[in-house]
Amino acid sequence: MIQMSTFIAILLVALTTYCTRILGYVLLKNKTLSKRQRKILEVIPGCVLISMITPYFLRDDPADLIAIMSTLFAASRFGMLPTILISMASAAILRTLLV
C-alpha cells in the first residue's frame, strides 16, 4: 500500500535530492576553468570526505578511538577490502573487550 501523503513527500524529497546532484554540474558546466580553478576543484572531494568522517575521530568510547586509529593505519598500508575487514574486526573485538 502507498499512502497519498507519503507518496507526495517521497516525490518532493527525491526531487530535492536530484536538484543537489545536478546543481553543481549545471552551474559550472559552461565556465572555462583555469588551471588553478581545476586544482581547487581537485581538492574539494577530499575536503568533503574528511568532513564526513570527522565524528569518528571524536568519539568518547576508547574502543571506537582505537578502532578508527587502526583503520587509519590499515588504510595507509592496504587496499580496500583488507582495510574494511581490519576496521570492522578491530571495532567488534575492542567493543567486546573494553566494556
Partner 1 sequence: MPPFQPRITPSDATPLSEFQRGVKDCIPLLLGVIPLALVLGATAAQKDFSLLEVPLLTGLNFAGGSEFAVLEAWTDPPHLLTLIFITFLINSRYILLGASLVPYLRHLPNRKIFPALFFMVDESWALSLTDAQRRLAQFGYRYAFSLPYYAGLCIVLYLAWVGFTTLGALLGPVLGDINRFGFDMAFPAIMLVLLKGMWKGFTEARPWLISFICAALAYSYLPGNWYVLIGALAGIASAFWLIQEDEA
Out of 61, 62, 66, 78, the residue judged to bind partner 1 by CB under 8 A: 78
Near partner 1 in 13-52, by CB under 8 A: 13-14, 16-29, 31, 33-36, 38-52
Instruction: Determine if 59 is a binding residue for partner 1 (CB under 8 A).
Output: no
> Closest Cα partner for 91 from 75, 69, 60, 76?
69
Distances, alpha carbon 19 to alpha carbons 47, 48, 66, 78, 81, in Å: 21, 18, 39, 36, 33
Instruction: Determine if 66 is a binding residue for partner 1 (CB under 8 A).
Output: no
User: Which single residue is written with the C-alpha cell 593505519?
Assistant: 73
Instruction: Determine if 56 is a binding residue for partner 1 (CB under 8 A).
Output: yes
Instruction: Determine if 69 is a binding residue for partner 1 (CB under 8 A).
Output: no
